[in-house]
A = this chain, B = another copy of it.
């Protein structure tokens, strides 16, 4: 039984989707005005683990991640750099996609963009005005928080204590937030019943999630800094509009990545981009580091910790490789390996139980370290190949759920692919012909081509040996 902590109810709950046939999941994606940093990555990796675990448990998952491609910060940057805001948005959207791919985050099913859903956004705002929850004021539209009686139920905030949200004139209450913002001079705008303008930040999530996931769905998540005001406002406008309570069954929030006492954030000037960190450490190690703490906890970034986690990761990789070579043995089993296999089964059970308990990845990873110790103490010295095969399956489950160990499970297909080997052998043979004829040009062409594919050559006296460069 999978339990997950629900911010809305402030407790761990047994996960049970609204509909047996589909788990619908919406994750607040990036505002694309700068490079993706590892603070973002911590959250996206956490939701990827959640999705993978649900799929592992047999659920059919539909995941939507929105791209906020119009926003004050994007506009500010486009004015600064004197380029169209779309150029900024496209560039950093691409950067986000690349960062996700590097970190082995499975592609969401849909990445809707705010600017492609203006019509849907306007329709919801119209409905909110009709129902009396929103009002227009001088080309802006605001949500009247006092009309929505449940305001504060997610963040447990009393509406009277809320500091004024958004700038903006003509508000009924200082706490009201903008659904539609009147265009300022030079700003990009769209036509609307309230004149030219653009959507506020919060409304896009209600518009796009309802379009793709329906008016009620299972999981909505983001970083914990989104609980208030973003998600609180989303609930207000969505429940007011759709008449579904709760609009979202499970609200999941990820603890922030901290640099000392501050959150990692562009505005604090303390960010480390995914690009930077993965040029120094392999993306898999970075991912492993990011899930080494519990997703709900804040994590204080420290490079020493990343290094230490990376070393532990490498030990696991080496163990997996050794187990693989042992697993190909196929002789009579010397002693019964059933006890060892049972022990591996217990470790695997504890691994899954940790994940069932609100995705406790640090506990799950501790179990993987136990398995690694056991493999090195018991399985490998005894060349116990049935136990090695069972242990490999556990690591493979971990690969599927946690998205780590890609090096040893994905590359296997590449490295063990006979065709690939044969093609390289053929090229090396042809190159040998050229070398023997002293035709260096073609020989070098082949060598360069192979090197560019990560294949290293070493010319010996009468033959050439080759290998895949380790990365």
Q: Residues on A close to B: CB < 8 A?
A: 19-22, 55-58, 60, 62, 109-113, 116-117, 211-214, 330, 332-333, 336-338, 341-342, 344-346, 348-349, 352, 386, 389-390, 393-394, 413-414, 417, 419-420, 422-424, 426-427, 429-430, 433, 442, 445-446, 449-450, 452-454
Query: Given contacts A419-B453, A426-B427, are A60 and B348 in contact (CB under 8 A)?
Result: yes
Q: Bound state CA distance, A386 and B111, in angstroms?
A: 10
Can you offer 15 A-B residue contacts whose CB atoms are under 8 A? Answer: A19-B345, A20-B349, A56-B58, A60-B344, A62-B386, A62-B390, A109-B389, A111-B330, A112-B332, A113-B332, A212-B333, A212-B336, A212-B386, A423-B423, A423-B427
Q: How many copies does the complex hold?
A: 2
| Closest B residue by C-beta to A113 | B332
Query: Which chain B residues border A394 with CB–CB below 8 Å?
Result: 60
Asked if A62 and B341 sit within 8 Å, CB to CB, the answer is: yes
Q: Bound state CA distance, A21 and B113, in angstroms?
A: 45
Distance (whole angstroms) from the CB of A60 to the closest CB of chain B: 5
Q: Bound state CA distance, A430 and B453, in angstroms?
A: 16
Query: Which chain B residues border A452 with CB–CB below 8 Å?
Result: 422
Distance (whole angstroms) from the CB of A225 to the closest CB of chain B: 28
Distance (whole angstroms) from the CB of A111 to the closest CB of chain B: 7
Q: Bound state CA distance, A5 and B280, in angstroms?
A: 56
Asked if A419 and B426 sit within 8 Å, CB to CB, the answer is: no
Asked if A420 and B419 sit within 8 Å, CB to CB, the answer is: yes
Asked if A57 and B60 sit within 8 Å, CB to CB, the answer is: no
Q: Bound state CA distance, A37 and B80, in angstroms?
A: 74
| Closest B residue by C-beta to A410 | B413
